[in-house]
Structure 1
Amino acid sequence: MGSLSMPSWKDRQQTQFAKVQIPPVPWRSFKLLMPYRIRRKLRSRLRSRVSPTSSIASLQTSFSPKDTLRSLQSYRWSVYDFQYLLLMIIGIFSLSIIEASPLTKTAFASLLLTSLLFPITRQFFLPFLPIAAWLIFFYACQFIPPDWRPGIWVRLLPALENILYGANISNILSAHKSIVLDVLAWLPYGICHYGAPFVCSLIMFIFGPPGTVPVFAKTFGYISLTAVAIQLVLPCSPPWYENTYGLAPADYSIPGDPAGLARIDELFGIDLYTSGFHASPVVFGAFPSLHAADSTLAALFMSHVFPSLKPLFVTYTLWMWWATMYLSHHYAVDLVGGGILAAVAFYFAKARFLPRIQPDKQFRWDYDYVEIGNAPDGYGYDLSHADSDGAPDSDEWTVGSSSSVSSGSLSPLSPTEDHRLWEGDNHGSDIEAGR
């Protein structure tokens, strides 16, 4: 009969501590007894003990596809995720009608899908998907057979212009031309329009709260897609057509016209805008104006981040609106349509997905927590979210980071469902700066 060995002191201590169960913190009770401002101060003090700012503002550096697969497994799907089905349909349709070799189309689609596989690239390309779909869709419009397209409205916009404003404002503004006015109109319309989204994104990435740039990217992409879809369903002739052809019926064989930008080509001795507009995929896309929509959207987002500079951004928008009419590319009604489209998209995004500005914060790295939308409580993310009922939610496909431990940064806790669905900026190591 073998002798029985007595457990060691270390084993007894481990067994003793293993039986001790720590009850969960009753956050629900605290929410009833403690005001929201006090709870937020408490969370801020807890966060300051784990140095959260470096984690909230950090970038995802993981190259492991396993992290993406884990985040997809834990992802909670919602009705908002139908956006990906819509983008997939638009992408397949566009690639199917584009006149290019199957190898080129396959390579492009493969590269885009591969960029979503690695966390380090997904954080930029996931919010870029609506913009990519718009660019592909816009380019594919030139390959849509004329038989599929509706008739072109030539008299609609001039009639609305006279009904609403009593005159053709575009013709009035473009009646007096000069080199100085040409250059002043060219700067916003031909230069700033193409670079402003990138410049605004960079500025908001540095000075805005984490999550602002992804919301801006998606909103920009979806209003652009919506505008092109309206232009295809309701094709309307711009002012340059009326100035050249009058109100005669139009057809899709008529090439685009640079209108006032032709004077810029002549001034600088180049052939940039003339050839570019002649090859435009959407010649009769006057309504709504994307120049007006993009400038309005940029002004609204920048005013959200920099409220004191709102007059500057409004001035830029009005400058763009004037340039579009002076160069005979849009009627005033086109600008109003584009502005309304941008405003509706912005205020919807602001109410549901856009991080709130904290006046005491100057840079993105100063934020130790982020609150989403207009909800007064329960909508935010940080490293010590006192309103969480369960375990931390590492939903990396949207805003969390299932690989935050392996990548060396702290793991986030419980973002709101709406913010996760919008795939906003991360609050761990998975910042969605372009995703």
Structure 2
Amino acid sequence: MTRRLALLAWIWAYVVCCAAGLLPGQTATDKQLGELRSAYEKNLAAIKKTYDDGVARWPQDYLAALKALQSKFQKSGDLEGYQGVQAEIDRFQAAAEIPDEALEASGPELKAVQKKFQAIPAELARQKTQKVLTLFQQYTSKLTAMQTDLTKQNRIEDALAVNAEIKRVKESPEVAAAEFERMEQEAKAAQDKSAEAKPQSGKTQEPAAPAGETSSRPQRFEQAAAYERSKIYTDGKPPDLPGISFKPLALRPTANAGARRKLNVTALLGSSESMEQRSDSSWGGVARAKSGTASYRVRLFLKTTGTSLTVENVTLVVEYYSKDLRSGSGKITPERMLVEHIRIPRIDFQGIAVDCPDVSTYQSSYSYSSAWGGSHKDKIGREFYGIVVSVFEQDKSICYQAVSGSALDRFAGTDIPEESSSWGPSMDGEWMPRRRIEGRMWPHDSSE
């Protein structure tokens, strides 16, 4: 009888779930959150497809416009105009971009067509960035309202699930890249406005892009050099790493790469820690101590500044710096933890992603609170401060360089720094180089 009642209860619960459009074990919050996430990801994919289609269509549209103009010149008997357009067709087919230099010798009608299509890639990127950030804001607004309502209803577990989704999407590579693109676009707009107000005495020429290649691009590979301590993803889509939360790490370009850089670079910083905590209570007060290691991983996204521009056989140099825990908001004296060299065969406008090696710092803190109201606290050790990112071409010239902290400008040089390494387990459990800090080897946890 008891089994029969239990079976009937299960059947009734199943019928109720089906009537509500829920799967067994699925709550209404799970269903609503899943629907919102699915709609967000669908719209995000549509934005990317619109952008990719526009970029792929741009060269053909430009050539069609040039041929239409050439036909107009031919019918009107304008041989000089016809030849000028043919020269531009030949130039563009060899290197599918429209640099400012290509406009200098053009007639008024050809120049008008060039200017129109020269602006299209940047406009496509601007539209994509705006759409991604608008979609992100709409999605998080809905989630925030949902979280507030659930909290008011005292459905705390459901509210925490929504909060986790808000954090996930805020830290996603798509949103981080869009934020970076927005900052780049705003900086360029300000630079262009300044240039219009104050004409420059000279121009910096960017090297011509290589001719288009016919070989197919590999979907994905992981670099095997440097003892597997760095990984490159040519599709620009690195995997999620369990237990590692990535947040945007702002980069500020230096002047060493010149006014016109070949690359745009976005950085994310992942972190985790392994700490041992102890406490001791007595009639006189409470003492607490915490010690262990904090581990950090930098994830970079690199792409060229032009749709047809590629750079090949470059060396990515990432320098990690730490600061004293006691420095607080006062004067910071960064110390170098690691210099990593990563050889990259090719970077183009589609972009790649790079997971750099982990670094770890030792940290220890102590606090004491007496029963009479007195207290004392102290901390020792170091924490991650920032990075210097440089990309060197084969002739050792810099095509990109940026820093993530104001105190790192003096470390951003034009010479390639010497590489450094040692061995240890990484944040995701693989055996990878660990970095030497202040002459000592700090383990990730006491069990090693």
TM-score with structure 1 length normalisation?
0.24
Q: Which has the higher strand share?
A: 2
Higher helix share: 1
